[in-house]
A and B are shown apart, each in its own frame.
Chain A
Amino acid sequence: MAVVTTPGQVARTTAADLEKRAGADVAGAVFKWTLIGATTFATAFLGVLLLVMVVDGWSVLSGSLGHFLTHGFSQSADNTGVWQGILGSLQIALVTLVLAVPIGVATAIYLVEYSGGSRFARLVELNVRNLAGVPSIVYGLLGLAVFVQTLENFTQGRTVVAGGMTLAAMVLPIVVITSVEALKAVPQELREAAYGVGATKWEVVSKQVVPAGASTILTGTVLALARALGEAAPLILVGAATGFISFGDANWLETFTGPFTALPVLIFNFARQPGEEWAANAAAASVVILVVVLMVNGFAIYLRNRFEKKW
């Protein structure tokens, strides 16, 4: 840059200096298009997966969807259905929710608000973070050993309750971590404001901090639940039925302590049977589970929006 002395000199060079130059920000452009490419790939991958599932399961989805949704397992590929799986999955999700959310949120509140950053609390948090990475099959073994066998008097063995407890143990670390992050994100100014007008710890936590973090906690919980809904391995280990099951004349409540199956388990079962008809059933059941998960998520988002009053 030359040293410019007069307005005339400045005027002569300004137009040229300000002109857009080709290749000025090549790295930026490359980066942007790489990002777009990655996004397109991920979306396309999902789209293809969905398309394959719908195409493969088309014979079932178009021909006998009503029958498929409302009937139980049958040895005949033409006659089988996923009703027991839908019911089982929803029941398990309910048990998981009822167990994991209160325990998980309570743990998070303790860790963030009450532990005072003690060594014990840091150890717990570290462990919880590690537990979130433990493979689900390990939780299946835990469920088999603890919930099915040791606690048989309570769970009645291989039942919805045992399955729900197993999945609750699996998602508990996720619920704890997302809740901890949600509570840590609540600004300290809010706590100080409440303490400043003479609120007790209980009043600060229950009336300010938890409500402020609630919508994030809810989002995390729903993601955890969606993961639980898709799990087959731990449920097979704790004894989900992979074939014909009968509820007898048990009412809805009694089925919680009866034999059970779940949608992912049914998919697994369908997929290992020989023949194209079974493959179609597996694909159709996959579409069903996707729809169920989407519906659960949608309901949670609806709840969150109603819950989260924007100020």
Chain B
Amino acid sequence: MVNVNEPIAGRRAESFVSVPISDDVAAMNTEHATDQQSPHDAVFAVEDLEVYYGEFRALKDVSLDINMHEVTAFIGPSGCGKSTFLRCFNRMNDLIEGARVEGRIDYHGVDLYDERVDPVEVRRRVGMVFQKPNPFPKSIYDNIAYGPKLAGAKKGDLDDIVERSLQRAALWDEVKDRLKSSAYGLSGGQQQRLCIARAIAVQPDVVLMDEPCSALDPIATGRIEELIGELTSDYTIVIVTHNMQQAARVSDRTAFFSVQLNDEGMRTGELIEVGETRAIFTNPADSRTEAYITGKVG
């Protein structure tokens, strides 16, 4: 059996940074380590982050930490930049023309936007589950095996990786007899669990989830939420959700974002407050947070 928590041997596992000069890497590691409140627990440390689409500032001035093996939820009204922010953590925004990031995200002390960092390697370590289930037009088996194959997993290990990943995503029993049939034949909830299995098959460190339940019915949503809770033993999870009850149910920490209209009618998102989920929901520090979670606004 393959231990899911061991990195896959292969081309991608060798070095996170494309330049193999160890001094460089060490330098990148220590540069900002002193600034962090808890350098051992923080997977990501975000400092003064701003995201621009061309001239338009979508998100301003965000600073927060993402702690290891915790679920961090981003909540807030539509257009507040929470999905945009989430996509900064695995550099998915690189794919959008004109998107630009200012400020700094440290990932285990390494500046994610350093030009020496390979975004492909980042995405292998920081997996993502999207709003709409988006399996590949392939079999269930191939959906899971695709990532590990890219990472150089041996053919003989694939069966184990597929089984482990599907079991971890609580999907194995439902699909073990039809691994070779189309992923499109699964229900929406099953497809989303397949996408979670696909994300964890490459043994990431972090799993980002962008409103993973918004296309699902309450029962499927419940299963995913249950799964999120189980996954925290091995993974750090960041989840964007519209559903405040969901944030309250699944997360350890919650960040509330809001949106500001400027004079030209442009909407810029900002972080209002971040803290323990219980504190945010029972005793928010900011009146805007309170208005939102009590349903007065949004």
Residue numbers of A with Cβ under 8 A of B are 116-117, 187, 189-200, 203, 208, 212, 311
Contact = CB atoms under 8 A, between A and B. Distances in A.
B215 to A, nearest CB: 12
Contacts of B289: none
| B: interface residue count bin | 20 to 34
Given A191-B95, A192-B92, A192-B95, A199 B120 contact: yes
B281 interface: no
Given A190-B134, A311-B137, A198 B151 contact: yes
Contacts of B189: none
Interface string B116-137: 0000110110011010101111
Contact of A198 (B124, B135, B184): B124
A205 to B, nearest CB: 12
A311 B130 contact: no
B147 interface: yes
Contacts of A190: 134, 136-137
B193 interface: no
The 3 A-B pairs of least Cβ separation, nearest first, read A198-B124, A197-B147, A189-B134
Interface in B224-265: none
Given A116-B97, A189-B130, A190-B136, A198 B147 contact: yes
- The A interface, classified by DSSP as helix, strand, loop or mixed, is helix
Nearest to A196: B128
A196 B97 contact: no
B138 interface: yes
Interface in B85-136: 90, 92, 95, 97, 120-121, 123-124, 127-128, 130, 132, 134-136
B257 to A, nearest CB: 22
A195 B138 contact: no
A55 B49 CA distance: 77
Nearest to B146: A197
Nearest to A211: B137
A38 B255 CA distance: 60
Given A195-B92, A197-B199, A199-B120, A311 B138 contact: yes
A197 B198 contact: yes
Contacts of B195: 193
A198 B123 CA distance: 5
Given A203-B150, A311-B182, A311-B184, A195 B202 contact: no
A212 B120 contact: no
Contacts of B184: 311
B171 interface: no
A311 B178 CA distance: 13
Contact of B199 (A117, A196, A203): A196
B183 interface: yes
Nearest to A309: B137
Q: Which of A117, A191, A198, A311 has the most CB of B within 10 A?
A: A198
Interface centre among A192, A196, A199, A208 (most CB of B within 10 A): A196
B120 A189 contact: no
Nearest to B91: A195
A203 B147 CA distance: 11
B57 interface: no
Contacts of A193: 130, 134-136, 195, 198
B134 A197 contact: no
A53 to B, nearest CB: 43
A187 to B, nearest CB: 8
